[in-house]
Structure 1
Amino acid sequence: MIHSLTLSDALAEHARSRPQVTAVVDGEVRLTYPELDERVSRLAAALDGLGVGAGDRVVWLGQNAYAVLELLLACSRLGAVLCPANWRQSLDELRFVLGDLAPGAVVWEPSDVTTALRDEAGGAWVRAGEEYERLLAGAAPRDFAQVSDAEPVLALYTAAFSGRPSAALLSSAALLAHATTLLVVRRMEPGFTFLNNGPLFHVGTMMFCLATFQIGGTNVFTPAFDPEEVCRLIDAERVTQAFLFGPMIDAVAKANAGGKYDLSSLRFVAHSAEWNDMITVDDSPWCRSKMGGYGQTEVGGMLTFLGLAEGGAGPAGRPSPLAQVRIMAPDGSEVPVGEVGEICARGKTLFSGYFARPDLNAEKSRYGWHHTGDLGRREPDGTITFIGPKLRMIKSGAENIYPAEVERALKTHPAVADAAVIGVPDPEWHQTVKAVVSLKPDATATEDDLITHVRGLLAAYKRPRHVTFADTIPKRGFTPDYDALDEAHGGGNYPGA
């Protein structure tokens, strides 16, 4: 396999060519690339001893930690697939993930939800921390057969338009191709240090983690976003980049209002006068364009970059050099320039399909192109404009929320006859969730009743902030008439609008 390069291969090369570079930092843990490579070899042997083999799934149930990267690299060495599950999800949601993936091993951090799942499930469960370290210590490093870089190595759940999400499978080849593009547009250089403060179950954090890994930089891990801790780590580790957007930037700037920490190593997007004075405003195409572009999990992160088309007519920019984009009609033909169609793609960064979803895979890859489910337009100068999802999606902060998923949860309440969910504008989070509910005859339920009910079924960011009651839900065929609901109940500010 002389043309193959997996994540595991990249690590093995870094161990030889960057023997003194710090690969990961997580609290008291500091590992050079050779130390990380040796631990990954032990971990791969340990997982093999638990019965994990090629094609098997491993699930991480916990917050951010260096173990996520170790597990991903060990899975690459074995030919297995890692899924960092969304730790913010409810017991019901995570129970679905485990049933869907049927993992060969689960590495977990204790919480009310994960402990309940552990009590329900059999199989190989390894508790993060001391038990995980004992597992590594008891395994001897050894060689494994070469794995093709076309094999899936990472699974990220997304696309819950039907009410339940699907796991997008990404190969080493796709992840490294995307990382290559990102490190060029971001102008990443040796010494680049990334703070993994965003969730690693989110492609926005994972893509920078892997680009930093590919360039031989340093990944710093913190369990979750905490403004004060972000400031401390940027100062202590001389962080170059972090996972930050509007409200998070404001929170970090507020936490450092007195100048307690030196944030000048952070080369980042201009935001406010206060923020700009704390950091080094970066002049890379990625940051000059305010991280603009279009992407989704299925394309590895970003499909188009505004940084490749500064000043262009289309606010999504131009495609990655390792991907093709076509704007297609339903029959698979390309629509003329200036007309709206579905954004479709193919190329080196594309995913390998959804796990155990043959019908969905056939539908999404028809005519030999990945159909993103999003509408766009090619402008006369060749750039791309993102119009919005073909099906309704709500954007709150950095999170995608699919109405069908929230509607499914609401409809499990015994008093609910029907429900629809819309997004309403929010000055801080872009949108928040509002539910419109009709009750069964003679049934009663309050707004608090329904929000409490959903609390046990969905992650906190998906729950409705408001519930409005209506006699009926307007329909277009079998689906809610979302335009009518927006008009009647104040919906708006959708992605692309």
Structure 2
Amino acid sequence: MIHSLSLSDVVADHARSRPQVVAVVDGGVRLTYPELDARVSRLAAALAEQGVSGGDRVLWLGQNSHAVLELLLACSRLGAVFCPANWRQAEDELRFVLSDLSPAVVVWEPSDATTALHARPGTSAGAWVQAGAEYERLVASGTPGEFPEVADTEPALALYTAAFAGRPSAALLSSAALLAHATSLLVVRQMEPGFTFLNNGPLFHVGTMMFCLATLQIGGTNVFMPAFDAEELCRLVDAERVTQAFLFGQMIDAVAKANAGGKYDLSSLRFVAHSAEWDGMITVDDSPWCRSKMGGYGQTEVGGMLTFLGLAQGGAGFAGRPSPLVQVRLLGPDGAEVAAGEAGEICARGKTLFSGYFARPDLNAEKSLYGWHHTGDLGRREPDGTITFIGPKLRMIKSGVENIYPAEVERALKSHPAVADAAVIGVPDPAWHQSVKAVVALKPDATVTEDDLIEHVKTVLASYKKPRRVAFVPEIPKRGFTPDYDALDAAHGGGNYPGA
């Protein structure tokens, strides 16, 4: 194990080398690295006493919390796999996750969906531990002893993604992959000791998780808030001297509006230039990451970012150049590299790549064809060697920061008894880039309203995936057995897809 370095090893080393550094801030919780490491050891011991061992899964159903980081580190210490699931999902979606993942332990916060799942027997899960007092009792109950040696190539984190087939899959990421990605990110972002990250974006999203782990790796401070709130974000940036937060256009505008009177000092925030009002509140950062507007190409399966625009300032391709620890090829259907200027599938291999999807052997074989991870996205190599992202090989809708897969929404629509067939497209949206529009064919003599169908989807899927509009048609145009999405876009105002 002399060459191994796990997430657990990182926090244990920080406990020795950074004994006075605050590792975690979460409301009234403030933990130095030694305190965090001690809690992780007690939690790992307590989970082991619950029967958790190598390869077992531990599921988090809740909003952002320091417990997310503690559970991930404790699972790393045991060789188990931690999964923070999307707490905004509907009961049916979370029931699928429970069935698919079969977690040994579920740590949960009450919501309509999680409370219903907890109350109904028969879910594929072991012990349920409620966040808060019950979780704290679990941590306190552990008596640390000897932990197993765990190779850093073992999966430590599972993040659900890629619902192209109508149901998502859990991408497994090892400690080695996560730390390799963190290394690349902290170099491009020019992170230094003292870096403080505000975890206000969802930790089930790789965009937040990758910064949380890079901050951990550099020995910085992770500040947690349950979910985005502009006023509270301003207060925390001021109080904790936050260096960076998870922010994009609409969120930045909301923060600038919340601090319009200058009530809070946001100057510690070293971030991307956005507007005169925003730039006057913060310190505009000159790192390659921020100068390039945080650009590049990525996905969960590559640990976050596969390419960085910050490594290709002035380059022709708006996805930039590959991370230093990966290789990227643009491959054709035969597995051969396409010529520069031609479109091919973005494929990769290297240190940050995931270990495959949990319990998906056929999909894993398909995705690793010819010895490369196939991202499912199309790109082009420019004459200067940089890469341009063209768009998904299969249809995807981008609403805000969320990826919405038509197959998933179509499945929900078709579960309504009045619906004979359905297709989903993305239409331009001035605030969210795209919104969802459903095109529906009803069964003979069936009647249902637009509002009825939208409400039906909300009972099956997370609310952000619901259609904003529904168009009723006699039949769905097809190409073979699949909807003719080009015809649907032309007839119903579709457009603004990622990469377009």
TM-score higher than 0.5 here?
Answer: yes
Q: Is the counterpart of residue 124 in structure 1 residue 98 in structure 2?
A: no
Residues 1:3 and 2:3 are matched in the alignment? yes
Give the share of equivalent positions with the same residue, in percent: 84
Q: Mapping of 1:385-464 within 5 angstroms?
A: 385-464=388-467
Cα deviation 1:363-387 (Å, max 9, x = unaligned): 0000000000000000010000000
Q: Which amino acid aligns with 2:188?
A: V
Within the alignment, does 1:305 sit opposite 2:308 as a pair? yes
1:158 partner letter: T
Shift in Å at residue 211 of structure 1?
A: 0.2
Tell me if 1:163 matches 2:166. Answer: yes
| TM-score normalised by length of structure 1 | 1.00
Corresponding residue for 1:202?
205
Q: Residue in 1 aligned with 2:249?
A: 246
1:485–1:491 contact (8 Å) kept in structure 2 = yes
Correspondences of 1:166-181 after superposition (within 5 Å): 166-181=169-184
For residue 236 of structure 1, the aligned residue among 234, 239, 262 is 239
Q: Which of 468, 473, 497 does residue 471 from structure 2 map onto?
A: 468
Equivalent position to 1:284, from 287, 294, 304: 287
1:317 corresponds to 2:317: no
The residue type paired with residue 23 of structure 1 is: A
Partner of 2:84: 84
Provide the C-alpha distance between the structure 1 equivalents of 2:56 and 2:446, rounded to a whole number of angstroms: 46
Secondary structure of 2:46 counterpart: helix
2: CA distance, partners of 1:237 / 1:477: 57
CA shift, 1:257, in A, is 0.6
Q: What residue in structure 2 maps to residue 134 of structure 1?
A: 137
Q: Which amino acid aligns with 2:175?
A: S
- Per the alignment, residue 59 of structure 1 pairs with 59
CA deviation string 1:215-251 (max 9, x = no partner): 0000000000000000000000000000000000000
Secondary structure of 2:232's counterpart equals helix
Q: Deviations over 1:473-494 (max 9, x none)?
A: 1111111111111100001000
Matched, 1:12 2:35: no
1:368 aligns with 371
Which position in structure 1 is the counterpart of 2:94? 94
1:406 and 1:112 map into 2 onto residues whose CA distance is: 21
Distance 1:274 1:214 in 2: 33
What is the CA–CA distance in structure 1 between the aligned matches of 2:83 and 2:23, rounded to whole Å?
21
State how far apart, in whole Å, the 1-side matches of 2:264 and 2:201 are.
Answer: 20
What's the CA shift for 1:136? 1.3
What amino acid is aligned across from residue 394 of structure 1 in structure 2?
Answer: I
Q: 1:311 is paired with a residue of what secondary structure?
A: coil
CA RMSD of aligned residues (A): 0.6
Secondary structure at the aligned position of 2:409 is classed as helix
Residue 142 of structure 1, CA deviation? 2.1
SS in 2 for 1:456: helix
Aligned twin of 1:261: 264
Indicate which of 218, 225, 229 corresponds to 1:226.
229
Please list the CA deviations of residues 262-320 of structure 1 after superposition, one character each: whole Å capped at 9, or x if unmatched: 00000000000000000000000000000010000000000000000000000000000
Q: How far, CA to CA, are the matches of 2:146 and 2:391 in structure 1?
A: 47
Task: Report the equivalent of 1:192.
Answer: 195
Deviation at 1:146, TM superposition (A): 1.3
CA distance in 2, matches of 1:142, 1:381: 55
For residue 21 of structure 2, what is the amino acid of its counterpart?
A: V
Structure 1 letter corresponding to 2:83: C
Deviation at 1:123, TM superposition (A): 2.2
| Residues 430-458 of structure 1 deviation map (CA, whole Å, 9 limit, x = unaligned) | 00000000000100010011011111000
In the alignment, the residues of structure 1 paired with residue 473 and residue 192 of structure 2 have an alpha-carbon distance, to the nearest angstrom, of: 56
Distance 2:74 2:431 in 1: 39
1:33 counterpart = 2:33: yes
Q: Which residue of 369, 377, 381 maps to 1:378?
A: 381
Q: Distance in 2 between matches of 1:136 and 1:298?
A: 31
Moved more, 254-263 or 115-124: 115-124
Note the C-alpha offset of 1:145: 1.6
Q: CA shift at 1:113, angstroms?
A: 1.0
1:74 & 1:34 partners in 2: Cα distance? 14
In the superposition, the TM-score normalised over structure 2's length comes to 0.99
Q: Match of 1:342?
A: 345
Partners of 1:439 and 1:21 in 2: CA distance = 61
Partners of 1:42 and 1:142 within 8 A in 2:
no
> Structure 2 unaligned runs (5+)?
none
In structure 2, C-alpha distance between the alignment counterparts of 1:299 and 1:460, rounded to whole Å: 27
- Residue 141 (structure 1) shift: 2.0
Give the Å deviation of 1:160.
0.2
